[in-house]
Amino acid sequence: MGTRALGPVALAVVAAALVLSLPAPAEPPTGGTFTPGTSLAGVELGLTRSEVLEAWGTRHGVCRDCVETTWYFNEQPFQPQGMGAVFEEGRVVHAFTVWQPEGWSTPEGLELGTPAGEIGATYGELAEIDCGHYSALVDNAPVATSTFYVYEDEVWGFGLLERGRTPCL
């Protein structure tokens, strides 16, 4: 008995089954949770590049002018909103949001876009660092520094970085 060629319908069913059985690559999160001292949308300090790709997806750009390897994960192509990660020796040393993306908050309810005074009301008095056109309010916890970026008196972004590193980007 000879082998028969698959008809067009059978071929389409096989192709669809193959596509549906492949894991879909993760896309950058739209909105997320910043857990001060712990993580930014599931990315923690010390994660490897492959672990970041698992958490945030493979669609990212690499900064050409940055001193350290920096990846940007834009929510929409060519739109500067999303998050980024800085790597040293292949591991995350700084994770941050970019350009006040929508839908981000902390477990305590602090949301991007709220008045900057809410940071102190929620987390107490924090050190302020002038980053030029914006400022960073930092909480230097024993393990990691949590940063709340402020622009025009609004909570503009979140960041998590190794202690001793500058929060300014």
Confidence of residue 98 (pLDDT cuts 50, 70, 90): very high
Residue 22 to residue 67: CA distance in whole angstroms: 37
Tell me, yes or no, whether 24 lies in a domain. Answer: no
CA distance between the termini of the chain? 69
Q: What phi, psi does 41 have (nearest 5°)?
A: 50, 45
Contact 53, 62 (CB under 8 A): no
Tell me, yes or no, whether 20 lies in a domain. Answer: no
Tell me, yes or no, whether 19 lies in a domain. Answer: no
What average pLDDT does the segment 117-131 reach? 96
Tell me, yes or no, whether 71 lies in a domain. Answer: yes
Residue 50 has pLDDT above 50, yes or no: yes
Tell me, yes or no, whether 6 lies in a domain. Answer: no
Residue 16 has pLDDT above 60, yes or no: no
154-162, strands of its sheet edge to edge:
61-62, 69-74, 82-88, 91-98, 154-162, 144-151, 135-140, 127-130
What average pLDDT does the segment 57-73 reach? 93
Q: Would residue 13 be called left, alpha or beta, if left means φ above 0 and alpha means ψ between -120 and 50 degrees?
A: alpha
Place of tokens 């949301």: 111
Tell me, yes or no, whether 12 lies in a domain. Answer: no
What range does the domain containing 72 cover? Answer: 32-162
- CATH number of the CATH domain containing 57: 3.40.33.10
Q: What pLDDT score was predicted for residue 12?
A: 35
What average pLDDT does the segment 18-32 reach? 48
Residue 4 has pLDDT above 70, yes or no: no
Residue 71 has pLDDT above 60, yes or no: yes
Residue 29 has pLDDT above 90, yes or no: no
Tell me, yes or no, whether 23 lies in a domain. Answer: no
What average pLDDT does the segment 138-160 reach? 95
**Partner residues linked to 162 by β-bridges:** 144
Contact 119, 93 (CB under 8 A): no
Number of domains in the chain: 1
Mean pLDDT score across all residues of the chain: 85
Tell me, yes or no, whether 21 lies in a domain. Answer: no
Q: What pLDDT score was predicted for residue 30?
A: 61
